[in-house]
Amino acid sequence: MTTEAWEPGAFRARIDAVLHRFVAEEADLLVDVDPALGPVAAELEAAVAHGKRLRAAFCYWGWRGGGQPDSEALLRAAASMELVHAAAVVHDDLIDASPLRHGRPTAHRALRAAVPDHPRADAAARSLAMLVGDLLMSLAGQLFVTSGLPAAFLARARPLWAALARDLVAGECLEILRTGAAPDTAASLKVVRYKTAKYTVEQPLLIGGTLAGAAPRLREGYSAYGLPLGEAFQLRDDLLGLFGDPARTGKANADDLRGRRPTALLAETWRLADPVQRGRLTALLDAGEAAGTDDGVGGGTNGAPGRGEDGALDEVRALMRGLRAPERVEAMIAARVDEALGALDGLDAPPAAVAALTSLAHSASARLH
């Protein structure tokens, strides 16, 4: 892709080629240890089979915004951001006991078939999934350092990798610690910032810019753009999680509510509700939690809610709509996108990079699934 025009489809194809080849080679090496590791290797490859490759795109344009040309070595470094995401998804699904991802069983569900005779099969499958996520994070670092970029460039970005991992873990921990607590919008937005916003937009941009030798002012502009956009991305995800079409999102609608996750959508609903509505919401959340098994699966099959849970889900949606909580979250998304786009106005970067980041801001925040 040597043209200056931003072609998302062509970029995705290039990143997919890097990821699929690299992970397939690692999966083969895993099976070489013992054929029994075949199911684990299959989940490793499944983890990178899908994706919009937004994190790689932000890293790429962080580099290009720093005045550097298109580079196959940078493409490999950018692809490592997608392995970080794949690791985070496997771990997140495991923590949340989510049954579906991209319309297929999550790693800890799929790996149940690999241990049919294990005395604690469910726990064993979860352990295998945890190790798949760990390996994916390790492979992210490996792909980055073997990308072909000069050692001096890689050394500049090394501290950002430590920050990326720390912030991601901090956000996941905060979500666990906040789950079940009284809904609070400020606390939910902090989880959003650390669990998703930073590693999705800001840190890939900063890593790409730092690799390119970007000046402090440009890196400050990347943060001013990346943080609000990353928050908008997750807020959109929260809305899709409850109101989206599972056939398009590939995830079960009831997941967030069943797990009582501290989303901004739930927090805004709670803030707007009167005491009677809060009491009903609490009862519905309790019922949804009770409907799930210890594997996070309700009365339906393949993670779909049972009929009773489906009715409770509809009632929660109706309550949220009546309080206009989705509109509040939409307003939060719009404000953050405007803030991100405003940061681009003063960005000291080539026009092609500004145009690409503008396009990415719209696609990241207004996606349908």
Q: For 281-318, how does the pLDDT look when each residue is reduced to its tens digit (9 = 90+)?
A: 988 888 766 555 444 333 344 444 444 567 888 899 99
pLDDT over threshold 80, residue 87? yes
Q: Where are the alpha helices (DSSP H) in 244-302?
A: 246-249, 255-258, 264-272, 275-291
Give the chain's mean pLDDT: 89
Distances from the Cα of 184 to the Cα of 81, 153, 199, 255, angstroms: 31, 42, 23, 19
Six token digits for residue 110: 């799929």
Q: How far apart are CA 268 and CA 235, in angstroms?
A: 12
Q: How far is CA 362 from the centre of its chain?
A: 17
**8-365: which CATH architecture?**
Orthogonal Bundle (1.10)
pLDDT tens digits for range 119-162 = 999 999 999 999 999 999 999 999 999 999 999 999 999 999 99
Tell me the one-letter amino acid at 108: H
**pLDDT at residue 24 above 70?**
yes
Question: What SS3 state is found at 97?
Answer: coil
Phi first, then psi: what are they for 147, rounded to 5°? -65, -25
User: What is the average pLDDT across 181-188?
Assistant: 93
- Of 66, 57, 354, residue with least CA distance to 210: 66
Q: How confident is the model at residue 54 (pLDDT cuts 50, 70, 90)?
A: very high
**pLDDT (tens digit, 9 = 90+) per residue, 115-126?**
999 999 999 999
Average pLDDT rounded to a whole number, residues 176-201: 93
Average pLDDT (4-27) is 93
Average pLDDT for residues 320-330, to the nearest whole number?
Answer: 95
Helix 203-211 crosses helix 72-96 at what angle (to 10 degrees)? 160
Contact 366, 336 (CB under 8 A): no
pLDDT band of residue 25 (cuts 50, 70, 90) is very high
Residue 365 pLDDT? 87
pLDDT over 60 at 77, yes or no: yes
Q: In the predicted model, is pLDDT for residue 83 greater than 50? A: yes
Give the contacts of 310 (CB within 8 A, at least 6 positions apart). Answer: 300
User: Is residue 98 very low, low, confident or very high in pLDDT (cuts 50, 70, 90)?
Assistant: confident
Identity at 204, one-letter amino acid code: P
What Å distances lie between residue 218 and 40, 67, 74, CA to CA? 42, 11, 19
- Residue 183, helix vs strand vs coil: coil
Distance CA 275, CA 266 (A): 15
d(CA 256, CA 238): 8
Look at the chain and count its residues.
369
Segment 24-32 mean pLDDT: 97
pLDDT at 296: 37
**pLDDT at 251 (0 to 100):** 66
How large a percentage of the chain has pLDDT more than 90?
Answer: 76
The structural domains of the chain, with segments of one domain joined by +, span: 8-365
pTM for this model (two decimals): 0.90
pLDDT confidence bin for 190, thresholds 50/70/90? very high
User: What's the longest Cα–Cα distance across the chain?
Assistant: 62
The token pair at 172 is 């996941």
